Each structure stands twice: as structure tokens, then as C-alpha cells.
Amino acid sequence: MKIRGISSGARALLGFVFVVGSAGAASAQSEPAALFNARCSSCHTFGKGDKVGPDLKGVATRRPRTWLLSWIRSSGKMVKAADPTAAVLYQKYRRQRMPDFELPAERIAALVDYLAAGGPETDAERQLRAASTATPEEVRLGQQLFEGRIALASGAVACVSCHTVSSRGALGGSLGPDLAGAFAKYRDRGLHQYLQRVCFPRGPGVNERKALTESESLALRAFLRISDPGKRVPAARAEGIPAARPAR
């Protein structure tokens, strides 16, 4: 298939290079993203829970913009000036103080805009590789991860202990729903989001941990995609993974 002159294979490869390369390549990032990585991410996550300082997801709605601009420039000054929010934060995160950042106002403003626009989370979504670009090996890895024949990097319990995929006749646990239709229901983005957190139990304290790695997410999405009862995927058959059975 040709899309704007580039074969789908080449596009898949480009997407792959972009995702893999993005971890280290500051040049591929926007200026605020690079700034966040270099100066903030050692103490803050975005959507993955508190680290040394608070999780910055939602901070742009939690605090007024002017407050954020002053805070990032000099949190020390605000604590000294007895700003009430600063005092609460200072009390709560006693073990470490946030350093001041003597950066030009435009760079701090751009950083705040970046956080308000979804920050690193939006970057990650933009770079998400589609399940349709998975190689047969990746599909097979997905099946192996699902069945627990290969362990998840997080050490989390294998999907099969709680889920079946009825379209494959896979035997599995019944605590969670049948996942035959999961790809059709959530698609790439929704599924990736869903798998960022352990399914069960969900609740305070459990949510942030045990996210799948990017490659595990891709492999599992790819496996669920070819297990969609409405789909027939030749690549999977070539790898000895039979096409999904039609839904009952």
C-alpha cells in the first residue's frame, strides 16, 4: 500500500525509529519537552505519581498560571513570602526543596504551556506505534506475554490468569472480561492508556505502578488486534498463529 509515496513498511519503520530514537535525542523534541526532561524529570513525573516532588499532571488546572510562572522561577522566594500554597507544598515535601530556575521568562512560559497541553503524556501518545505495524514476531511476543510464557518486565501477573480470548479458544481466568473484542472496543490509543495501569485491583496507590513497557504494549495490542473475531490477518497465519474464530 502506498501512502503519499511512502510504502506502509517504510512508514512503520520510520515510526519505529522515531519512538526508539526519541528517548535520547533531544534534537527531536520540542524545546520545552527537552527542558522538562533535562531539568524537571529527575524529581517529577507527569501522570506516573509523586517522585521527589508532586506529579505534575493536572498542575496547570490545579494552580493559576501566574502562580506557576513565579513558582518555577523561584519557589524559595514564594515560600519565604509565605504564599499559602507554597507553604503547604513545602510542608508536604519536606525531604527536598525544589531549586530555583533562573531561566528567561519566555522559556518558563513555554514550559508551563507544554505542561498545560498534556506534557510528556501527549508526546508519548503522539509517538505511539500502531498495532497494525507490528511484525509477526511482535504479534507472537504479544501472545507469549499474554499467556505468561514470557514474563512482563514489571513482574505483574500474566493477563491469562484473569482473561480469556474466546476467539482463540484460549483458556484463562474469568476475573476479567473476555478480551476477544478489546481491540475493536479501545483501539490503539485507548488500549495503550488502559494498559498503563494494572487492571485489578485499581485504586489509590496501585495505579501508578507496573505500566507495561512500550514494546510490551505494542505486542499485546498487536496480539489482541489479530484476535479480533472480525479480522483475518495473513501475517499472523504465516507465523503459525491461526486467524481468530468468528464470534459465537
Residues lying near ligand HEC in the complex (CB under 6 A) are found at 39-40, 42-44, 52-54, 56, 59, 62-63, 68, 71-72, 75, 89-90, 93, 96-99, 101, 111, 157, 159, 161-163, 175-177, 179, 182, 185, 191, 194-195, 199-200, 220
- Give the nearest distance from C-beta 16 to ligand HEC in angstroms: 21
Nearer to ligand HEC, 12 or 43 (CB): 43
Q: How far apart, in Å, are the Cα atoms of 160 and each of 43, 116, 146, 198? A: 35, 38, 6, 14
Q: Please state, in angstroms and as integers, the Cα–Cα distance from residue 26 to each residue in 46, 103, 120, 243, following that order.
A: 18, 18, 13, 41
Taking the complex as a whole, the smallest distance from the CB of residue 95 to ligand HEC amounts, in Å, to: 7
Amino acid, res. 193: Q
CB neighbours of 197 closer than 8 A, spacing ≥ 6? Answer: 206, 207, 208, 210, 211
Q: Which is nearer to ligand HEC, 220 or 226 (CB)?
A: 220
At CA 51, angle to CA 49 and CA 87, rounded to 5?
100
| Minimum gap (Å) between residue 5 Cβ and ligand HEC | 36
Q: What is the DSSP letter of 83?
A: -
Q: Which is nearer to ligand HEC, 68 or 233 (by Cβ)?
A: 68
Distance (Å, whole) CA 33 – CA 100: 19
Instruction: Identify which of residues 57 and 136 has a Cβ nearer to ligand HEC in the complex.
Output: 57
Residue 172 Cβ vs ligand HEC, minimum distance, rounded to whole Å: 10
Chain Cα centroid distance, residue 14: 20
> Residue 6 pairs with which residues in a beta bridge?
3
Of 11 and 69, which CB lies nearer to ligand HEC in the complex structure? 69
**Shortest separation between residue 150's beta carbon and ligand HEC, angstroms:** 11
Residue among 12 and 157 whose Cβ is closer to ligand HEC: 157
Nearest-approach distance from CB 146 to ligand HEC, in angstroms:
6
CA distance 98 to 67: 15
